Every structure is written in C-alpha cells, then in structure tokens.
Chain A
C-alpha cells in the first residue's frame, strides 16, 4: 500500500508541475544590434528619478490647451529645481479627428496606433476617461482608483514620483542620418538596486512645436497665452507623440531583464530604425500625412523602462537626435 501511495503522490506531483505559463508570447521582433559600452558615460547620470507624464489631448478639445499649459509650467518649475519632467502629448479620443479639404483648418492627423493602444487597451478595462487626462508614471495617485489623473492633481502625482528613489540609471544615444534615412537608438539600463521582475524598454518618437490649429477653451479652462474661446491657427503643439520606435502598437517593448537583477548590472539594448519603414508600416500610423519634414531639433526620443507587472515607469530619459 505504501508503494501505491508513493506512486499516487508521484503522479500528482509530476502532473501538477507540468504547466507552463507564458506571459510574453511574441518572440522578439525588434532587430537588436550590438553597440559598445564606451558610447555611454562611465558614471551614473540619473542621480534622481525622472518622471513621465503621458498627457492625452486633442486638437478640437477646448480644455486641452489649459492642460498643456499646466504641464508646460510644471516642466519649467521642476527644471528650475533640478528635476526632469518628461511630457508626452498623445492625441487620442473623440476630439482629434482632422477636417478634410476643401476645409483649410485642422488638417493634421496626430493620432497614431500606439496612442490608441495606450488609451483603449493597455489599461483595459480602464479606458481613457476623456481629455485632458494623463498617466503620471502610470501609477495610481491617492484618491484615484485607476492611473488616469486630471490636471489639478498632476503636480501632486509628480511630486510623489519624484520623491521615490531611482532604481535604474538610463542613458540613451540617438543618431539619425537624414539622407540615408537610417537611425540608431542605444539605451543602457544600469540597475542601481537589487530587483526582481520583468522590465521592459520602450522608446517613443516625439515631435515638438508643431504650429497648427487648436481649439482653445474659455477663461479658467483654456490657455490664456492664446486667445480664449477661439480656434487658433498658430498654436504650438508641444512634444507630440508620433509613435513607438521600439515596437509595434501593443507590443511590450524590448525585454531588458526578467527575474532577478542585481545592483550594478548594466544592460544595453540598441536597434536601428528608418522613418520610411516606420511610415510604411501598415500597422503603425507613426508618421501620418501631412507630416512635416524631419527637422533638426524638432524631434526627440523618449526612452523609459517599466515594470511589466504593474506598468509603472521606473525611469525615463529624453534626448534629441544627433544628426549625421
């Protein structure tokens, strides 16, 4: 009988352990390239945590300029205090659709597939509640039940994130040859704490200061540096999200580390990209028409590492392209 009991126990144990959980089903599709560690600084450049605010906005959203104004002022304030707030403006929602010719206003399409994924899928079933709303490092601010926050709380949420210790130092080198249309992004993640989890890298492409149409709200809602309550033709759209360089919409990004990683570990992930290829990629409306030319100084790359289990952004850096 003991033998039978042992047999039964063995079968139960062996069978129960025969079960594979797959969290990240897609094989790596971004073609990684090797780069030398020497292109990065020798020392830790991120002594504090930076904070990313993903603001959801729309060109036909009258209150949105008021939100953008809050972010512009916050970024200046934090910069003065030696802190770096990275703002990403994602055009998404019902107040974004462009007009069509012969109309001459609101012709730009700023929406991209990755923005749609962020708004409607990533945090599902917590969908974008409306614009302007934002994710502050994708964490939940006290008093909220989900990560979507409104402009009055962005400063408070950012303060809480700035107060957290930095756990990973990020350095990015971004180059782009506009004639050959070849670019390279290299990001080094330098873990400064012992950590356990699945950490992914994402790289966004931003375009700054696009001068175009925007509806502005009335006093107390809109941005009073522009005419209030009007359609403005010379509004400067700041840090506009044009798509994801590191992955297709909905992709997790590039896996940096899975499981335990010890303090001092440096992991470099680099990949090439081409604006034409991104533009032609049917699944990513990354550079929708009409698209202003790739102008030096107007584009930047935002790289961040996040915890896959919680979506929390652990560190973010922004860098302009070095043109060759």
Chain B
C-alpha cells in the first residue's frame, strides 16, 4: 500500500517513552521485517453562541479531539499504541475524557496454540451479554481492558479465552478487577473425522466473568466478588443460522439498580435465513437487571463490562436516527426484531431494468412485568419479575419499509417509510413527556451526471403531534471524484407548538480527499439530539460553529 505518511516519524513516535537501547545488526534486520500501520484523526470545533436554540460557546471557545493509532507487526509479534488528546473534549463527548496521553498500548505474541497480550486489549465473549470490551471513538466509548489476555487453542476446534485486568475509565482505570474465561467448541472441527462432511455445523460456548471490587459500605454488606456466567449454542445448516445465548449474574447491587440484590439474567436468540434474493432474520431478547460494571457507582456508559445487543434497526437518516432512537434498557427489557429482504431480479415483476430490493423491518421493546417488594430493610431483592415475559409498558415500536432501486445507469433511489413509537419518558428519561408517535418518510435520490460527478439528495419528513412536533429535512451532497465533496443540510422544526422554536438548523460541509487523507470543514447549527451506537446512546447538546476534521490512514 502506498503510504502518505512518513514512516520514520511514526516509528519514532512508537518508540516514544521507551528507554534507548543498543540494537545489534541482527536485531535491526529483524526489525526491518516488520510493518507499521496506523491512522490519525483530528476533530475540532469553534463554538458560537446562539441562544435561539440553546447553543452556547464554552469558556475555552474551541474544543479538540484527536488520536493516532500506530501498529507494529513482525511475524507473530504485534505492538501498538494510541495517543489521544481531548483539549478539551468536544461538547457532547464524555467530559471525563480530558487531557492527553497514551492510555492504550499493548504487546501481543501469537502462534497456532497460544495468543498472549499484555497491556490494553479488546475482547468479547459470545454476544457480549457478560463481557465485551470495545472502542467507538465517535461515540466516546472505550472500556478497553488493561491487563493480560491469554487465548489458547489446546485442540483443534477448542478455543479458550482468558482475560484479567481493569476496565479503562477515561485516562485511568475502573476500580474493579475483571477476570473472565470463555470456552468455545466447534463440534465439527473437534470430530472432523466423522463430522467433516456434516451439513450441520454446531458451535458450543460458555463463559464466566467475575469482578472484584472493594465492598466497603457504611450500611450494606456488598459482595466483593460478583460472578456472571453464560452458555450459548450456534447451529448453522445451509442458509439457516440459529444462535441462542443465556446469561446469569448473581447479586450485583449498584447505582444502576438502586442497590438491590436480585440476580440478573438475559436470554438472546437470533435466527437468520438467507438465500439468493431472499433474506429473513428474527431475534428476541429478555433482559433483567443485567447492567454489569466494574465500578458499582458509575453511570452512563462508564466502566461497563458487558453489552446488551440492540434489537432495532440502526437508522441512518438523521431524523429517525437522532431524535427518537432506542437505547437498550439493561435493567429490564423484552425486545424483538424481524426483518425480511426480498430482491427482485432485473426483468422480473417489479424488477425493472436493474432489479429492486424490498426490506421490511419490525422491532418492538417492552418493559418487564415486575412487582415491587419494598424489602429494602430485608433481602433487598427489590422486585419480583415474571421471567421471559413482557410487561404492559411499551418502550419502543418501529415498523419500517424500504424500496431500493436503480432505475437507469444514472439514477437510483431509496424510498423509506418509518412508523416509530418511542416512550421517551422511559428511554430518554424525559419525565412527563410520555410516548411519541411518529410517521417518517424519506426519499433518497442519487443522480450520476458523469463518471466523476454525482448528486445525492435526501428528502425527509417526520410527522408527529408529540414532543417537539413535526420536522422536515433536506440533504444535498455533491461529489466530484475522487477529491471533492460538498454537502448542505437543513432541518426545520416547522411543527413545534412554540412558534419561537420553529427553527431551521442549516449546516454546510466541504471535504477534500487525497488517497487515505481527508480534510473537511463544516459550519452551521447542530440541534440537540441523541447519538446511538449499538443500542447505547448519549445526549449531544445543541451547538453552532466551525468544524474541522483531518484524518489519515497508512
């Protein structure tokens, strides 16, 4: 790959902080066999006050988020580091990220049997119901483990993962120590002499994770060690794939559950079927008291050990994506999602000249059926629950239908209808706001003027009588390949009950790309909303100003 960044400079950065040592000629030869890869990302914004939509300039006026990943690989050896700077963190980003430094750094060696990592690492057991450490830089989520990971493949088809360390918490670590083990057996690989030709592939897995945290408390006897376990089975037969995972967690009093000692449990099941021109997926999950943190007093997305997979369609159109998205409710939720995809070939009924794709998706989420016990002075179980049953309170409901078609060589479109219901009193914690019912229509139109010139437009409309009322959005993006990109967006809250809040939120952006390098400049108003990734959301405040982003990959 052609590199646009100076490798010598990057190598120097990699070695930053390491004591100078003399390297023999033989050692130099070994080092020269290695490869360095990485990427840089800088996002900065200058803020301007506009009290009409509660956008305010912070005292430091300008904010900056930046990071650079550097990865060195040489045979089975890998080492890497990430320098991060939040000076100060952009508004809406977790404000615990403040300052700069190298918090993420690791060295890893692996061969066919053993895979050892020291330092920082990311890992996931099964669906993540009891353990997942991962990184979402745009979201500001990083619960990287800091410690040791030893993965072993003792026998063909048998894989064991072990982790031991602390979760990352901003530029420090969470107080709790996390220990975990995951085992997975691929039955077909294990018995390859008899199962090699089997049409059904079966994978079994099981995990156990325990956290230790100082149990000192003035009035409660807290468990110093909290354990959680899970078991899973994955059956794959031809186009069908079935995954079922069950997880259980013993008493884990925390600020999430008001320090009740009830055990938690979760069940996740997903089935998918795919063949040419047709796809079907359905999934369901039940969660009760499954927030699992390495610090019991932390909130929001801090110190999470596990992850509750979201069962809603991750919308990308901004009205549907940022006004009323769904955030998983780990304290109690019953949710399901079904999606059907049908592709009609060109020349077939409705297929047109280039074919057409229809997608229908339905998801819903309810609370659980609980009864309060009022036993704070006794066992502190808090409540009883009807296991695996939905409660009466609906949290979320989303039906959406999409038609995607290329009409001519130059023109293609996507038409989307979304009926979205969100109990924002529960999901967004907006007391007294109740449930919002919305109808959203989106037309995405794409016209290619020539090989290099392309125009993409989004016309979005949300109709609702609730909360902030109806919205309309227009997005226009014009790209001149391979370098230039221009976009303009306007969101208009024309249906707001308060006339003074019927505002436009215009935003323009221009970007220049050269190979793996990209620089973009934007200016305008950004309304307050929610930013969600994988069912985890954070509130983003309104802002106005000039934004600059620079990125580089090598």
Chain A, residues 1-25, CB within 8 Å of chain B (1/0): the string is: 1001101100110111011111111
Question: Could you list 27 A-B pairs, sorted by A, with CB under 8 Å?
Answer: A1-B154, A4-B113, A4-B152, A7-B152, A8-B160, A11-B150, A11-B162, A12-B208, A15-B208, A18-B212, A18-B225, A19-B225, A20-B224, A22-B221, A22-B222, A25-B220, A25-B221, A25-B253, A25-B379, A27-B218, A27-B219, A117-B374, A121-B375, A124-B373, A125-B371, A248-B377, A283-B377
Q: Would you call A15 and B180 a contact (CB within 8 A)?
A: yes
Minimal beta-carbon separation of B247 from chain A (angstroms): 14
Known: A25-B253, A25-B379, A250-B378. 20 other contacts (CB 8 A): A4-B113, A4-B154, A8-B152, A8-B154, A8-B162, A16-B210, A18-B179, A18-B210, A18-B225, A19-B227, A20-B225, A21-B251, A25-B251, A25-B380, A26-B380, A27-B220, A248-B377, A249-B377, A250-B374, A252-B379
Q: Which residues of B contact A183 (CB under 8 A)?
A: none
B267 contacts the other chain (CB 8 A)? no
Distance in angstroms between the alpha carbons of A299 and B225 in the assembled complex: 46
A98 contacts the other chain (CB 8 A)? no
Distance in angstroms between the alpha carbons of A24 and B220 in the assembled complex: 9
Q: Would you call A121 and B250 a contact (CB within 8 A)?
A: no
- Chain A 224-272 residues near chain B, CB threshold 8 A: 247-252
- Chain A 16-72 residues near chain B, CB threshold 8 A: 16, 18-27, 29
Distance in angstroms between the alpha carbons of A15 and B384 in the assembled complex: 29
Distance in angstroms between the alpha carbons of A22 and B250 in the assembled complex: 9
What number of A-B contacts does a CB cutoff of 8 Å give?
102
Chain B, residues 183-226, CB within 8 Å of chain A (1/0): the string is: 10000000000000000000000001110100000111111111
Q: Which residues of A contact B378 (CB under 8 A)?
A: 26, 121-122, 250-252
Minimal beta-carbon separation of A199 from chain B (angstroms): 15
- Chain B 350-389 residues near chain A, CB threshold 8 A: 371, 373-380, 384
B181 contacts the other chain (CB 8 A)? yes
B86 contacts the other chain (CB 8 A)? no
Q: Which residues of B contact A5 (CB under 8 A)?
A: 154
Residue of B nearest to A20 (CB): B223
Chain B, residues 217-251, CB within 8 Å of chain A (1/0): the string is: 01111111111000000000000000000000011
Q: Would you call B210 and A125 a contact (CB within 8 A)?
A: no
Closest 3 CB pairs of A and B: A19-B227, A18-B210, A20-B223
Chain B: interface size category? 35 or more
Q: Which residues of A contact B114 (CB under 8 A)?
A: 4
- Chain B 115-155 residues near chain A, CB threshold 8 A: 150, 152, 154
Q: Which residues of B contact A251 (CB under 8 A)?
A: 377-378
Answer whether A15 and B181 are a contact pair too, CB < 8 Å, given A25-B261, A251-B377.
Answer: yes
Answer whether A20 and B226 are a contact pair too, CB < 8 Å, given A12-B208, A251-B378, A252-B378.
Answer: yes
Residue of B nearest to A14 (CB): B179
Minimal beta-carbon separation of B385 from chain A (angstroms): 11
Q: Which residues of B contact A252 (CB under 8 A)?
A: 378-379
Residue of A nearest to B206 (CB): A12
Q: Which residues of B approach A to under 8 Å, CB–CB? A: 113-114, 150, 152, 154, 160, 162, 179-181, 183, 208-210, 212, 218-227, 250-251, 253, 261, 371, 373-380, 384
Chain A: interface size category? 20 to 34
Q: Would you call B154 and A19 a contact (CB within 8 A)?
A: no
Minimal beta-carbon separation of B216 from chain A (angstroms): 11
Residue of A nearest to B158 (CB): A8
Minimal beta-carbon separation of A122 from chain B (angstroms): 8
Q: Would you call B150 and A7 a contact (CB within 8 A)?
A: yes
Answer whether A121 and B374 are a contact pair too, CB < 8 Å, given A8-B154, A16-B208, A19-B227.
Answer: yes
Q: Which residues of B contact A124 (CB under 8 A)?
A: 371, 373, 384
Which one, A16, A19, A26, A120, contacts B220 given CB within 8 A?
A26
Q: Which residues of A contact B208 (CB under 8 A)?
A: 12, 15-16
Minimal beta-carbon separation of B181 from chain A (angstroms): 5
Q: Would you call A250 and B210 a contact (CB within 8 A)?
A: no
Q: Which residues of B contact A8 (CB under 8 A)?
A: 152, 154, 160, 162, 181
Q: Which residues of A contact B250 (CB under 8 A)?
A: 19-21
Q: Which residues of B contact A4 (CB under 8 A)?
A: 113-114, 152, 154
Q: Which residues of A contact B373 (CB under 8 A)?
A: 121, 124
Distance in angstroms between the alpha carbons of A14 and B376 in the assembled complex: 32
Q: Which residues of A contact B226 (CB under 8 A)?
A: 19-20
Q: Which residues of A contact B375 (CB under 8 A)?
A: 117, 121, 250
Q: Which residues of A contact B152 (CB under 8 A)?
A: 4, 7-8
Residue of A nearest to B260 (CB): A25
Q: Which residues of B contact A283 (CB under 8 A)?
A: 377
Residue of A nearest to B376 (CB): A250
Minimal beta-carbon separation of B141 from chain A (angstroms): 25
Minimal beta-carbon separation of A306 from chain B (angstroms): 13
Residue of A nearest to B215 (CB): A20
Q: Which residues of A contact B379 (CB under 8 A)?
A: 23-25, 252
Q: Which residues of A contact B219 (CB under 8 A)?
A: 26-27, 29
Which one, A7, A27, A250, contacts B221 given CB within 8 A?
A27
Q: Would you call B150 and A26 a contact (CB within 8 A)?
A: no
Distance in angstroms between the alpha carbons of A41 and B208 in the assembled complex: 53
Q: Which residues of B contact A25 (CB under 8 A)?
A: 220-222, 251, 253, 261, 379-380
Minimal beta-carbon separation of A107 from chain B (angstroms): 27
Distance in angstroms between the alpha carbons of A244 and B319 in the assembled complex: 57
Q: Which residues of A contact B261 (CB under 8 A)?
A: 22, 25
Q: Which residues of B contact A18 (CB under 8 A)?
A: 179, 210, 212, 225, 227
Distance in angstroms between the alpha carbons of A125 and B381 in the assembled complex: 13
